[in-house]
Amino acid sequence: MKTAATTEPTKRRGSTFDYRRAWHEVAKPAYESLPANLRDLLDYTAKATAGVHQSADLSMPWPDMDSEYRDLRERFDKTPAEWLSQAAAAIYFVGHWYPADGDIAIPGRQAGAHWKFSHYADQSLRARLGIATNDGFGVSLQIIEGSIRICYSSREMWTWHEVSPATEGGKTHALNLASELRGRTLLSKTSQERDHVAWIFMEALKDDRSGWLPGTWGARFDISAYMVDESEIVSIGARLDAPELSTIRARIIKHADGKIAALIAERGGKLWLVDRGFNVDNVIYYGHTGRFCFGWRDPLTDDAISRWLDVLAEFPYAYDLKGYEAYRDWRKF
C-alpha cells in the first residue's frame, strides 16, 4: 500500500529514502510485470511527446489531430483501468527513482516520458471515473499516479492518503472512506477540532495500513521499509564490488558522451542555419532521435515547407519538416 511517502518520503531525523533499493526491489519488478502492450504504449508516448511540455495548468496536452500520434488518447482510453492505473504508478516510479546502476532501458526517460505517461493515464482515468482535481476546502478525492487519494484541506492544514487504484471498485472504496471522514468532521464544532479529527483519521489509515483496498496492486508499493538511517545509505556505495562500480562508471561515461555528441550536433546544425541568415526559433534538435525538427513550435505552412526544402538541400544533418511526410536523411546518401 502506498502512502504519502511514495512520492515524497517523509524523513525522520537522521533518516533518508533508499531510492536505489526501492527501485531494484519495488519499481523495477513492478515495471517488468506490466504487459508488453503497456510498455509499448510507453514507447509510443515517448515518441509522441518528444519536445512536448506541461500546460500552464500542469496537465499534458494531447497530440493534435493532424499529428501522426493523434490516436494517443484513444490508446490510453481503451486500456482497462485495472492495468492503466497500475502502469501509471509502475512507470512513474521506475523512471523517477532510476539509480546510477539501473540496468534496464526506459523509453524516453531522459525526456520525462515516464511522468508524461503517468499524467496521460491520470487524465484518462479522471475522465472515466468523474474525479477531477479539487483544490477547495474539505474532503475530496484526487487521482495521482494511478491511485485515488482521499484528501482533506482547510485554511490551516492539508493531508492525504492513497486508498485504492483508480478503478470503479477503487472509487467506491474511496467514496466510502471519504463519507466516513466527512461524517466525523461534521460532528466537530470548530475548525481546529475538524482538523484534528481529519489528522487522526488519516494517520490511523497510514499506521495500520487498513486504508488501501485489499487484493489490489497497491500493496507492492509499500515503501515504508526503505526509510533508513543516513549512515547506512552512505555505506552502500562502499559495499559495491569492483565489477558493479566498473559498470556504473561505464554507464556514466556513455551517458555523458551521448549528451556531448547531441550538443555538438545541435550546435553544428543551428550554426549552419544561423550562418546562412536563418532564424532557428522554430527549429529543435532531438538528441534521442538524432534529428532536427523544423516547425516544432509553430506549424509550417505549405509555402514555408517549400522554401525550407530549397534551403535544406545542402543541410548536413537528418531532419523532419512538421507537416511534411517526406524527409531527407543525409545518412542515406
Q: Domain coordinates of the chain in residue numbers?
A: 4-235, 244-332
Q: Which residue has the cell 534521442?
A: 288
> Which of 139, 149, 223 shows the shortest CA–CA distance to 185?
139
* β-pairing verdict for 227-229 and 15-17: antiparallel
> Tens digits of per-residue pLDDT, 85-140?
999 999 999 999 999 888 899 999 989 999 999 999 999 999 999 997 665 678 99
* β-pairing verdict for 291-294 and 319-321: parallel
Residue 153 β-bridge partners = 138, 158
pLDDT at residue 247, rounded to an integer: 79
- Identify the DSSP state of 132: -
* CB-based burial label for 95 (10 Å; 0-12, 13-18, 19+): buried
Q: Which residue has the cell 487519494?
A: 149
Please, which pLDDT band fits residue 148 given cuts at 50, 70 and 90? very high
The whole-model pTM stands at 0.66
* Residue 167: HSE in the Cβ half-sphere, 13 Å Cα cutoff: 18
Q: Is the pLDDT of residue 325 over 70?
A: no
CA 273 to chain centroid: 34
Q: Are 60 and 121 in contact (CB under 8 A)?
A: no
Distance CA 57, CA 92 (A): 20
SS3 327: coil
SS3 58: coil
Q: Are 195 and 154 in contact (CB under 8 A)?
A: yes
* CB-based burial label for 69 (10 Å; 0-12, 13-18, 19+): middle
pLDDT at residue 181, rounded to an integer: 94
> Tens digits of per-residue pLDDT, 182-207?
999 988 889 899 999 999 999 888 76
